[in-house]
Amino acid sequence: MQAQASSHVAHAAPPGLDELIRLAAAQPLAPDCDHFYFLRHGQTGRNAQRIFQAVDEPLSELGLQQAARAAQLLAGEPIRTIVCSDARRAHDTAQTVATALRLVPTPHEALRERNFGALIGTSSAQIDWACEPEGGETLAQFVARKRRGLAAALAEPGPVLVVAHGGTLYALAALLGVPVDLGLLGNAQPLRFFRSGPTWAVTPLLRQADGDSALA
């Protein structure tokens, strides 16, 4: 997953992702660090059912197991700071990893998944990222929030581990000019972002073979 002249979407991406990439490219993220880690939260019941989730959605039993496996994979990495979304599923995943690393995660509301408003509780199978859900965030608002939240997270003492959501990963990749590879969106799959000069790339610590959902 190497950055190219312009970000693109690998495989069959959901509608509206090109607009997310366009919005992110208008003001890219330029952290001072040269590498960091990202972890999407473990699976939840509504992940498996492909339903838009509220912030209090808990991890499923599988999600708890995935978080424990991620903690094992990350235990040998030189992580100094863990910053996470304050949504329950992300915070609980971060706490599992933090316990193994003997760290304390710092929750940030700005790292939450996009607020889909009236769509929460409905099917996300046909998600359109360019939608404007009643009572929720527009795509522009979401990208701007992620830009602020990720900039703050990556300014912490590094290497930093960010624990958040599928939407956060879409935004992060776009903000760094890294093509979005849907194969990296598995639940609790640790990723390492690294920079060579101005160019960012990402590699998985381990690819998951199970068909985890790619949202929220």
Domain positions in the chain are 17-204
CATH superfamily membership of 17-204: Phosphoglycerate mutase-like (3.40.50.1240)
**Residue 134 annotated among the catalytic residues of the structure:** no
pLDDT at 11 over 70: no
**Residue 41 annotated among the catalytic residues of the structure:** yes
- Who wins on pLDDT, 15 or 135? 135
Q: Which of 16, 87, 12 is nearest to 46 (CA)?
A: 87
pLDDT at 181 over 90: no
CA distance 19 to 16: 5
Mean pLDDT value across residues 50-55: 93
Q: Which of the residues 41, 91, 108, 165 is marked catalytic?
A: 41
Concatenating the DSSP letter of every residue in 195-215 gives EETTEEEEEESS---S-----
Mean pLDDT value across residues 11-37: 90
Give the global pTM. Answer: 0.89
Q: Which of the residues 57, 91, 108, 113 is marked catalytic?
A: 113
